[in-house]
Structure 1
């Protein structure tokens, strides 16, 4: 195991923050895994603890056939943000920016470097583009903030990987994945192993999230250079590992083993691993996800558990105003899976309370919420 420490720029005087990445194995294929980019989403960090332990064992046993990088604490900035004993890991205090938005657009940085150099050899093109990505990072001016420096380091480690897993969680949720439609079939065994309730697909959900900043450049470059053979060489997915409280040891161990078995399927680990379950949820378009809101303020009672399959018209939650006795029942308008619920129990204006993964597109434009 190799430990790589990066000091973040623009730390406050008298303090220092660093990003630590652990590197295991070697070989032609590479996987990059990071946890808790939203720093208060801790199930991924707990799974990363088990991954680190197991990867060290597998490396000592000579079982690693590829290169695997692991960043268990992907956001040391957010991890240190506490307000009245509550961790605030989704938005940076200084700028108000979401830590998982506005990553660099690698396609625009790389295109001038590869223009006129791409041909019919897909493997050669992949190597050239990955080299150009690293050269583009090296040519950037110094980062103007701690957040920018962190985002560059994360993307620089991930951009030349064949597989990228960004481990998150929702408030109260079933396991679910976000990915490009082009990668949904290849990620099906991972979804099955993790017993995912939903896989949501979109080519560009808006916001330049980390996973799409790894995978989308390949589609954009292929569109810009149609004469060249450019495959979607980076399969990146956001893996939402249930809800924020899902950090129990047996669960973390099981999910780590599921991820390791999938890495073995991808040619990164040797040995005998259990086969993926045959049953898996069917991918649905992210445009088909219904976000449900309360019609007025009040205390919330959920009427369906996270992961429940619901029909249009099924009640999902009720809202009761204890002062004037207003009472509303909010129902699903689509068939699908209730894949996430809000953790707070008081309805506030403009904040979603439930999400249902439907099969038919009902939204357009920016699909990500902040």
Structure 2
């Protein structure tokens, strides 16, 4: 097995170390200075009971696709006075998944519900409270990555006793397998979040509990996304839809084609437009809804080819686990 020259090995190790320290420092900065301040501000506010007055949304159709505008209105008492709040989340302006918003609203209506009030300005409130785990995990993970890169950089220049060729070769294979395994398992966790693996599995488990309910198309949209890596020259046509249905005396909204599909990938743009033409605004369709959890709705409850793509992270994870175990079992 051909080995790199010592100076090339040091150069590669230095590049990896610098990248780790750079990415780790950026994550730590984002968690500490960008996110921590807002969450700390809300953490200092007073938590008080509140009553939900309005929790719904209005959907409009724009050139960028469906635009569900979420409304959250609640009443609370503070120091003997009654106030009305409209702010949903003061700590972050990140978009909230439509299904999660409906689920949170259902729990808030049943109660008990709470909001967070600024003691100095009681008219300022936030329905969502601080989530300190997020900035701390972001900053802590960044610092750990930065520290690992620094230690790896220092170890690069510490002289080591030369090893026999067969031992050095075995060590290289062992480390390579372990690193490949860790990389695959990390990629599996990231892809699982993007592909909404948990929603796909949950949807298949509850297929028999879903009931058909009349629904109305509120808006559709078509957007483009460029591929990455070897697929950077490929354009993906992403179809989106938002529909509403009545259940339990109130209106619910959903945006899932399938349990895990918020966006459905079409073929060519013409094919995608033809598919969306079957769902004009106002058209009556059938949605499959869980009667006990009506925020769970989908247009298609059956098996889908896209499910194979959704469960791909499991293949990556177990493949990575096998590679890591194979490398760990190699003798030192």
**Higher RCO structure, 1 or 2 (CA under 8 Å, sep 6+):** 2
* TM-score between the two structures when normalised by the length of structure 2: 0.21
Q: Which structure has the larger Rg?
A: 2
* TM-score between both structures, scaled by the size of structure 1: 0.19
More helix by share: 2
